[in-house]
Amino acid sequence: MTDTEPDRRRLALARLKRKHDYYAHVLVFVLFNGFAVGIWALTGAGFFWPMFPLALWGFGLIMHTWDTFAPNSPSERRIRREMDRMP
């Protein structure tokens, strides 16, 4: 299968949008959690409650990282193997 120039352009634009959305997600994560840690530090630095949003949101950010940067097209070998498994 050959890719045409418009198809490659469409895929490149989609990839750039995913990366832009990812970097926006990282920025909001850092700003929000930095603010939460700042509040924690200013209010006496007792129990580190910001660990909850950091951990939960961090997991979501890890999944977003995987979705953004993992190879999004399966190899020809994997496609052939899946086709062989089909009845």
* Predicted local confidence at residue 24, as pLDDT: 97
pTM: 0.73
pLDDT bin (cut points 50, 70, 90) of residue 7 is: confident
Domains in the chain: boundaries: 5-85
* Predicted local confidence at residue 4, as pLDDT: 78
Q: How far is CA 12 from CA 8, 15, 16, in A?
A: 6, 5, 6
pLDDT tens readout for residues 43-71:
988 899 999 999 999 999 999 999 888 87
Contact in structure between 29 and 57 (CB atoms under 8 Å): yes
Average pLDDT over residues 2-30: 88
> When comparing pLDDT for 1 and 71, which is higher?
71
Report the alpha-carbon distance of residue 40 to residue 35 in Å, rounded: 9
